[in-house]
Amino acid sequence: VSPYLNYLESKFAGNISKSDLNFEKEIYLLSRYFKGEPISFDSLSLDFNMGTPFQRRVWKETRKIPFGQTSSYKELALKINHSGFRSVGQALGRNPFLLVVPCHRVLSSDGSLGGFSAGLPLKKYLLSLEQARQ
């Protein structure tokens, strides 16, 4: 956790108090997720302020995609009344909350994987984990 907190401090110039951090809820949800339980991360509050207004709209809409289901970049763009499908993909590429904002559930319109900032092998794994538990 400490290297990640150091990274956050340098990136966001904030003063994070390590003694005030408690990740019990997050660890519990992630452990259930990786056991294949269809869970929602909606109970976690996220600070989207590091994103642009457009990115925040994309990230918030992406959070609505349920476990085991997918959407396309085009469908996501239409839901936020935006015509730029590629810009939706770019916004997802800047998603700082992988899994919690489940950008791995967004595919190309033809059903191909598209991109994923953490790499396509992980995207495939997460999608297969969720599909296997449907």
Q: Does 32 participate in catalysis according to the annotation? A: no
Cβ atoms 127, 105 nearer than 8 A: yes
Tell me the two tokens of residue 6: 């150091």
Tell me the two tokens of residue 33: 């997720």
One-letter amino acid identity for 54?
A: F
CA distance 57 to 101: 12
Tell me the two tokens of residue 76: 């996501």
Q: Say which of 29, 103, 106, 107 is annotated catalytic.
A: 103
Tell me the two tokens of residue 40: 């929602």
Q: Tell me the catalytic residues.
A: 103
